[in-house]
Amino acid sequence: MNTKKISLLFCLAILVFSGLRAQQHDWENEQVIGINKELGHSTYVPYATISQALSDYAEDSPYYECLNGTWKFNWSKSPDLRPLSFYKSDFDVSYWDDIDVPSNWQTKGYGKPIYTNAKYPFGKNPPYVMGEKVPDTWTHSKLPNPVGSYRRTFEIPDSWDGKKIYLHFAGVQSAMYVWVNGEKVGYTQGSMTPAEFDITPYIKKGENMIAAEVYRWSDGSYLEDQDFFRLSGIFRDVFVFAVPELHIRDFFVQSELSSDFLSAVLKTNLSFSNDKYRGAASIEAYLLKDGETYNGEKPVFVKNISKRESAKKDFNLNIETNIEHPKLWSAEIPNLYTVVFVLKDALGNTTEVLGTPFGFRKIEIKDSQLWVNGKSVKLKGVNRHEIDPVNGRALSYDLMLRDIRLFKRFNINTVRTSHYPDNTWFYKLCDRYGIYMIDEANLETHGFGYGKESLAHDAKWQKAHVDRNVSMVERDKNHPAVIIWSMGNEAGHGVNFEACRKAIKAIDSIRPIHYSIYNKVADIESKMYPSVEWLDNTGKKESPKPFIMCEYAHAMGNAVGNLQEYWDVIAKHKRLIGGCIWDWVDQGLNKEISGKPGEYFFAYGGDFGDRPTDWNFCVNGLTTPDRSITPKMEEVKKVYQYITVSPEDIVNGKIEIKNNYQFINLNKFDASWEMSCNGKVIDAGSLASVNLKPGDSKELVIPFTEPQLQPGGEYFLKVLFKLKKDELWAKRGYLLAWNQMAVPFDVPEVKSEQDIPGGIQYEEKGDRIEVLGKYFTLCFNKKVGTITDLSYWGTDIFKTNEEAVYGGKRIEDQRHTIWQDTITSEKVAGPMLNIFRAPTDNDRKISQNWRKAGMDDMHPEVKSVTVSKDDGDVNIKTFIVSKSSEGYIVRQHTSYKIYGNGFIDVNTEFDPDTLDYSLAKLGFIMRMPKGFEKVNYYGAGPHENYRDRLHSASIGQYKTTVNDMFVPYLRTQECGNRSNVRWFTITNYNGIGMMIKGDPMVNFSALHYTPEDLDRANHPYELKKRQETIVSVDLEHLGLGGGSCGPGPLDCYQLKTHKAVFSFSIRPYSDIMGTFSQVAIKKVGE
C-alpha cells in the first residue's frame, strides 16, 4: 500500500474518531462536567432583614422556596428505555409513582444498592460506563445504567418580579439534565457539591414545571469509586432563590490574628454580579455573636460602591477591618460569630442580606506541628461516611446532630469527611458545636490503583480533578471548623494533583492541604493503617511536615484493639498530630427479613443480590447504622480523653493530674473520687475545683480515710471529671474522663474455712463417677473426661443430654462457611476444652489457619482418669489428648478437687502443639440448662472487653443478663467477653446457680449461642436462640488488633502456643449464702 493511501486511511480514521467523539454522551465525556452551571460559591440563602439572616432559617426568607417534598418519578433500567419527552409540559405523568426528594431511589425500592470497596461495578473503559462486557452475574449486566426521571411544579411569588432566579441542587448522583417549562436549562455531574442554574429566562408567572433526568452512572463515576454503597438520585436539598440585579455572588471572610491573639484584622473579599442595575450602592457588614439578636448595632464596616463600579458585570471588593478582643474559635471553645452583609441601593433601601457563620482562629504549620490559635493540637478523629439505614445518603438534620453530639460526648474532636464533601448542615453543626474538619474532595479512583494507570496521570481528566476540589473549597471556605483541605482519597498521584493544589491555594492560601498518596503536594504527611512500631519510627524522623494517620484502627466488627498504644506513641512525638479511625458508622441499610413483613435487619454488601460485592467490608463503624453505642466507642472515649490521672503515693491519697486540653481549664468540670473494695464503692467525695490551666499538671491529695481493711480485700481509687454545667451536647453531670488506680493497702489474708460439711461420698459405676454431698450431686464421665452433671440444692447446673443433637460439618464456599447437619452421640454440659472462637473480622486472615488446623472440631481422647478420696475431699485427675480432624493436638492434665460444701477446684495444665501463629483462645466451654439468665461479676466492665481493648473498662461489680451480654455486630462473630474477672455468677430467677472464681482471674462470656452458632450465621436475625446458657471460661483470648485492614494484635496480645496453667473453682451459689463477695472470698484447702 502506498504512502498516499496510508495517509488517506489515517485521515479517515481521525475523522471517524472525531465524529464518534462529537456524538459522545455528555455523561460519558470527561471534558463535560457541566453545561450552563453557575460557578461554585459559599453556601447562602438571601434574606430581607438582618434578623432573618441571624436565625439562619431559610423558610423565613421571602426570597427562598424549598422544592423538597413529593415529586413524580419514573425509573428506567437503562437510558434507551427512559421517557424521552417527559420534560414537556403536555407529557402526562399522573400515572407515575411519587418519590420523596431528597432521597436515594434504591432506598425507595427502585433498582439495587451496590456495595464494592474498590472494584468498579461497571465495565472499566473510561470515560464510558456502558458497552463493556461484564459477567452475567453482575448487577450491571441486567441494569446497565438506570435513569430516574423526576417532575414537579412550583410557583414563583409576584414579589420576585425583576429579580434573578436560581435553581439549586445540593447533591445529585451521578449526573443530571434539567429542564424548566420544557426548556433545557443545563447539565451537571459531580455528586457531592451543588449544581446551580440561572433559570430566570425560563420562568413564567404562575405555575412552573421542573424536570430532572438523573443517570446512575456517568464518566464522573470513575472519580467516585469510594468504599461505600453505590446509590443514586436527588439526595440533598433542592430549592430556588431570588436575588436583585446587583447582588453578592460570593464572599470569603478571613481573620488575621495579632501575635498575642488579642486583636484581629477581619479580611473580607466580596464578589458581586450585576445584570442591569446602573445606580450606586453600598455594602455593610455586621458582626454578632452566635445566638445574639440584632438590636441596632453599628456595622463593622460600610463601603460605598460607585455607579461606575457597580455597572460592571462582575467585580470584587476587598475590605479590612480591625476587631479588638475577639473571642477565638477552637474545637474546645467554639466561639462563633455571624457575619451579616447588607446590600443597599442608591436610595438606602436594603436589597439583599446574606449571613455566614464565622470564627476567629489561626491555623498554621510550624515546627513540624499543627497549630490552632498558637497551641499545638492533636486530632482525635474519625472518618465518617454519610449513611442513614432508612434513607441512604439523604441524611436528616436530626441524624447529623446526633453524630455531632456523640462526637463531643466521646471526646472526638476531628472528622474527616471521607471521601467527599458532606451536607452543608453538617458543617454548620461542626462550627457551632466545635469539631475540627478535614474536608475531602469527591475524588477517588481506587479501582485503577495508585500507579501509572491512575487517572491522576491523564491530562484529559485534569479539568474534572480540579473542578471537584475547587467546588469543595468554594462551598466550604467560610466554615471555621474546616482547618484542612484534603484533595481526595486513593486516587493515585500525578500532575492532576499538582494542578489541584495550585487551584486550592489560589483561593485559600492559609489552610494546609492533605492528600495521603502523594505527599509531595501535601502540607501534611499521612499514611493509612501503620503499625505502632512504624508510627513510632516515623515520629522520630525529622521533617518540616506534621504526620497524621488519615485512617487507622479499622473498626470492623469486634475491633479497635491496642488503641491506647497508638496514642502513647503520638504523645511521645511532636510531629505526630493524631489520626482518624476508620470509621464512624457501620454502612448498613435496612432490609426486610424474608417471610417476616415489617421486620428489618441491617444489610451489607451482597444482601440485595448486588454483584460484584465486597460483602461486609462496609460495616467498619464505631457505631451501628442507627447510632447505638458500642463497646468500641467506650474505648475511644477513654483513650481520647483529655485528662490524665496517675498515682504518686496512692496509699496516702497522692495523685498527679494533667490537663491535656489546649484551651480549657479543668475548673470547667466537677471532680470527684470513689474508693471501692472488691468492686463495691465504700467511700466517695468531691474535690475542690481543680483550677488547672491547659497543658499544666499538679499533685493533689485525695481526702480519703484508710478504710477498715477486709481480709483479701482489693481496693481501687477512681477519680472522675463531669460537666459542671449543661452544654449543647450533654447535660450537667455527664462523665467525660476518669481513671482508676489500684491502692495496695496491706490487707490481711483470708483464712481457710474450717467448717466444711463432711459426709462426701463417691461411687464408680462403670464409666461414671458419682459424687454425693450434703448440698450437691455430681457425675463425672470417664469417657469424656469431665463433669457431665452437677446439681446444687436439687437444681441442675450441668445436665448432659445423652440424645443425638445437632452438630456441624463445615463446607467452604467463596463467601463464608456453610454448615450441614450431622449427628453426634453426646452433648457434654460440663467443662470441655475450647480453643475456637467465632472469627472476628480482624481474625479474617489468621482464622484460615485455625480452620486448616481443625481447631473448630477438636475431639477429646481420654488417656487416663484416677479418683481418690482424702481428708474428706474427692480428687479426680485426668489426662486428655484432644485432636482435631486435621491432626492438631492439645494435651491437657486436669484435676478436680471436690469439697464437701460443693466447691470444685479445677486446675489444668495445657500443652498445645507449637505453632507459628496465635491461638484464638484457651479455656473451657460449659452449657447450663434453660432458666439461667442472671449474671453478676466482679471484673472489668460494664461493657464487653478484651485484653487489648480494656482501658475503658473499670474494675467493679456488675449486673447484666445473658441476653444483654450478646453484642449484635452486623456480621455475627465472637462477642461478649469480660476480662480480668475475679468471679462471676450465673443464676436462675430463684437466685440459685453457680459461681466461678478465678485463680486469680478468668475471661468469661455467657450467651445463648455457641461459637459455631455465631460462626455459621451472617446476621444476628439468622441466629436461633438456644434455651440453654453457653458459658465460656478462658485463660486468655487473642487480642482484637486491627487485622481486617491493618496490623493484627501486638505481640504482647498474642496467645502463643506454650504450656499454660489455668485454675479456677466452681462453687454453688444461692442468695441464702450471703453476698457474692462473701461466697467468693471463702477459701478452702491450702
Chain mean pLDDT for the chain: 94
Using a 10 angstrom Cβ sphere, with 0-12 exposed, 13-18 middle and 19 or more buried, the burial of residue 453 is: middle
Percent of the chain clearing pLDDT 90 (strictly above): 91
What is the structure's pLDDT at 3? 44
Can you tell me the distance from the alpha carbon of 781 to that of 799, in angstroms, rounded to the nearest whole number?
12
Tens-digit pLDDT profile for residues 361-393: 999 999 999 999 999 999 999 999 999 999 999
Does the structure show a pLDDT above 70 at 21? no
- The mean pLDDT of 1038-1043, rounded to a whole number, is 96
Tens-digit pLDDT profile for residues 534-550: 999 999 999 999 999 99
Does the structure show a pLDDT above 70 at 1061? yes
What is the structure's pLDDT at 325? 98
Fold of 761-815+834-1081: Beta-galactosidase; Chain A, domain 5 (2.70.98)
Instruction: Using alpha carbons, select from 900, 868, 904 the residue that is nearest to residue 774.
Output: 900
Can you tell me the distance from the alpha carbon of 152 to that of 234, in angstroms, rounded to the nearest whole number?
13
Does the structure show a pLDDT above 80 at 555? yes
CATH 2.60.40.10 at 247-358, yes or no? yes
Q: Name which residue leads in pLDDT, 1080 or 207.
A: 207
962: helix, strand or coil: helix
Report yes or no: 166 and 241 within 8 Å, Cβ to Cβ.
yes
DSSP β-bridge partners for residue 444: 224
Tens-digit pLDDT profile for residues 873-926: 999 999 999 999 999 999 999 999 999 999 999 999 999 999 999 999 999 999
User: Which single residue is written with the C-alpha cell 434513607?
Assistant: 391
Using a 10 angstrom Cβ sphere, with 0-12 exposed, 13-18 middle and 19 or more buried, the burial of residue 902 is: buried
What is the structure's pLDDT at 1075? 87
Grid coordinates representing 402 are 446526633
Spell out the domain ranges in the chain. 22-243, 247-358, 378-586+621-637, 641-743, 761-815+834-1081
- Which CATH number is associated with domain 641-743? 2.60.40.10
Instruction: Using alpha carbons, select from 603, 597, 447 the residue that is nearest to residue 114.
Output: 603
For residue 840, the 8-state DSSP code is -
Grid coordinates representing 410 are 466521646
Which of 207-221, 708-722, 778-792, 815-829 is least confident?
A: 815-829
Does the structure show a pLDDT above 90 at 667? yes
What is the structure's pLDDT at 755? 61
What is the structure's pLDDT at 823? 27
Does the structure show a pLDDT above 80 at 405? yes
> HEC profile for 966-986?
CCCCCCCCCCCCEEEEEEEEE
247-358 shares its CATH topology with 641-743:
yes
What is the structure's pLDDT at 802? 60
Can you tell me the distance from the alpha carbon of 576 to that of 583, in angstroms, rounded to the nearest whole number?
20
What is the structure's pLDDT at 7? 46
Can you tell me the distance from the alpha carbon of 445 to that of 708, in angstroms, rounded to the nearest whole number?
67
Percent of the chain clearing pLDDT 70 (strictly above): 95
Does the structure show a pLDDT above 70 at 72? yes
Can you tell me the distance from the alpha carbon of 1036 to that of 1015, in angstroms, rounded to the nearest whole number?
20
What is the structure's pLDDT at 24? 87
Which amino acids are annotated catalytic?
490, 551
Can you tell me the distance from the alpha carbon of 197 to that of 176, in angstroms, rounded to the nearest whole number?
12
What is the structure's pLDDT at 517? 77
Tens-digit pLDDT profile for residues 83-115: 999 999 999 999 999 999 999 999 999 999 999
Band of pLDDT at residue 6, cut at 50, 70 and 90: very low
Band of pLDDT at residue 15, cut at 50, 70 and 90: very low
- Which CATH number is associated with domain 22-243? 2.60.120.260
- Which CATH number is associated with domain 378-586+621-637? 3.20.20.80
DSSP per-residue codes, 297-335 = PPPSEEEEE-HHHHTSSEEEEEEEEEEESPPBB-SSSB-
What is the structure's pLDDT at 37? 98
SS3 percent helix, strand, coil of the chain, rounded to 5, is: 20, 40, 40
Band of pLDDT at residue 1081, cut at 50, 70 and 90: confident
What is the structure's pLDDT at 520? 87
- The mean pLDDT of 10-17, rounded to a whole number, is 41
Tens-digit pLDDT profile for residues 420-477: 999 999 999 999 999 999 999 999 999 999 999 999 999 999 999 999 999 999 999 9
What is the structure's pLDDT at 816? 43
Tens-digit pLDDT profile for residues 322-361: 999 999 999 999 999 999 999 999 999 999 999 999 999 9
What is the structure's pLDDT at 1080? 86
